[in-house]
């Protein structure tokens, strides 16, 4: 079997390179395989027979085929002797080449990661602060509950009473009642770490369902561990009776002998502000007192603490 070697001139190579499209920077790995033993034997015989010198050894050393075969054989044998290098080449061949990442993108990724971590820590801190502050507020609120204000009606005085005939707003003739009274209320704030703002609903005097007098207590602020006496005025002016209180109608000319049971009701509201306005404990005290209006006790204080008529 003959082997023909074609040599290319520099012009052909230049033209081929100029016409061929540009190649990628990857370098292909080529493996050169040496001819088989039979092919080598045939080439040697052909070279020996055609040698003009008649010396096979001389032809063997001078033939270009010998140099090509020797170089290819040496390369192939060297590759067989160095399996580690072959493995590295194979691994290098299998790994695809990728372009290097943009350093700006890496910096952006790092910044995004840091910002996410900072947001996570800030969220954890905010949630922890809210939980701790809520627990602390609940503790203060629970600690304020035992400090309920001490309130009771100390005394009451009916200053004047007048019953006379009159006409209501619709023109109906009936007896008209005029009444003035004063209520003294004892208030004490036992709290040790907060003051309270105190208000009250209108104080009302009723004869069963008929309201005969009412008044408003002024709001005030009571510091911690302090007390005071609050005075409220109740008045009833030209209240039509429509015969609802026959005792007064029958004895309007002799008021000194009348005795009318009345009911005093109101609600005291106390509110404390702890930590500004964040913790606001509230205390409501409902007060109801049974008091008797006597004509012969006008202008005299009626002690309501000893009688136990208030609850």
Q: What is the pTM of this model?
A: 0.59
| Average pLDDT for 2-11 | 43
Contacts of 190 (CB under 8 A, 6+ apart): 147, 148, 149, 150, 225
Of the pLDDT bands very low, low, confident and very high (cuts 50, 70, 90), residue 169 is confident
Same domain, 220 and 247: yes
Chain segment 102-124, per-residue pLDDT in tens? 555 556 666 677 888 888 999 99
Within a domain: 234 = yes
Same domain, 110 and 172: no
Same domain, 155 and 125: no
Same domain, 279 and 236: yes
Structural domain count of the chain = 3
Looking at the chain, the number of H-run helices and the number of E-run strands are 7, 10
pLDDT at 256: 79
168 three-class SS: coil
Same domain, 256 and 298: yes
Within a domain: 109 = yes
For the chain, how big is the Rg over CA atoms in Å?
58
pLDDT at 107: 60
Within a domain: 9 = no
Of the residues 78, 96, 114, the one at which a domain ends: 96
pLDDT > 60? residue 33? no
| Average pLDDT for 243-271 | 84
| Average pLDDT for 295-303 | 90
Same domain, 91 and 122: no
Same domain, 137 and 269: no
pLDDT at 152: 92
Of the pLDDT bands very low, low, confident and very high (cuts 50, 70, 90), residue 30 is very low
Backbone phi and psi for residue 240, each to the nearest 5 degrees, phi listed first: -70, 135
d(CA 283, CA 218): 17
Within a domain: 113 = yes
Contacts of 147 (CB under 8 A, 6+ apart): 189, 190, 191, 192, 194
Output the DSSP codes for 132-165: HHHHHHHHHHHHHTT---EEEEEEEEEEEEEEEE
Chain segment 120-160, per-residue pLDDT in tens? 999 999 999 999 988 988 888 899 889 999 999 999 999 99
pLDDT at 86: 52
Within a domain: 1 = no
Of the residues 144, 175, 210, the one at which a domain ends: 144
CATH code: domain of residue 238: 2.60.40
Same domain, 115 and 80: no
Contacts of 301 (CB under 8 A, 6+ apart): 155, 156, 157, 184
Within a domain: 20 = no
Same domain, 139 and 154: no
**Domain carrying residue 225:** 148-303
pLDDT > 50? residue 11? no
pLDDT at 83: 52
Chain segment 185-221, per-residue pLDDT in tens? 999 999 999 999 999 999 999 999 999 999 999 999 9
pLDDT > 70? residue 162? yes
- Other CB atoms within a 10 A radius of the CB of residue 179 amount to 21
Q: Tell me the pLDDT of the chain averaged across its residues.
A: 75
Of the pLDDT bands very low, low, confident and very high (cuts 50, 70, 90), residue 85 is low
């Amino acid at each position: 079997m003959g082997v023909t070697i074609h040599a290319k001139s520099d012009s052909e190579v230049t033209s081929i390179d100029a016409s061929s499209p540009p190649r990628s920077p990857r370098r292909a790995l080529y493996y050169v395989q040496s001819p088989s033993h039979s092919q080598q034997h045939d080439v040697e015989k052909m070279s020996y027979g055609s040698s003009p010198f008649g010396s096979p050894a001389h032809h063997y050393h001078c033939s270009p085929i010998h140099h090509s075969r020797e170089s290819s054989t040496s390369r192939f044998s060297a590759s067989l002797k160095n399996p580690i290098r072959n493995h590295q080449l194979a691994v290098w061949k299998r790994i695809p080449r990728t372009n290097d990442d943009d350093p700006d993108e890496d910096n952006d990724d790092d910044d995004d990661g840091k910002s996410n971590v900072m947001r996570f820590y800030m969220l954890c801190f905010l949630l922890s602060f809210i939980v701790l502050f809520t627990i602390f507020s609940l503790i203060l609120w629970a600690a304020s509950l035992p400090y309920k204000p001490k309130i009771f009606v100390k005394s009451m005085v009916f200053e004047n009473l007048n019953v006379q005939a009159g006409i209501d707003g619709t023109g109906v003739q009936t007896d008209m009642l005029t009444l003035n009274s004063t209520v003294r209320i004892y208030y004490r704030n036992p709290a040790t770490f907060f003051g309270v703002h105190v208000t009250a609903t209108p104080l009302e005097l009723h004869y069963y369902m008929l309201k005969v007098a009412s008044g408003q207590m002024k709001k005030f602020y009571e510091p911690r561990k302090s007390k005071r006496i609050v005075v409220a005025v109740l008045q009833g002016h030209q209240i039509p009776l429509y015969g609802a209180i026959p005792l007064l109608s029958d004895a309007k000319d002799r008021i000194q002998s009348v005795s009318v049971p009345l009911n005093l009701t109101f609600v005291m509201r106390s509110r404390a502000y702890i930590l500004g306005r964040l913790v606001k404990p509230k205390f409501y005290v409902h007060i109801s007192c049974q008091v008797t209006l006597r004509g012969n006790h006008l202008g005299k204080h009626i002690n309501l603490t000893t009688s136990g008529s208030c609850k």
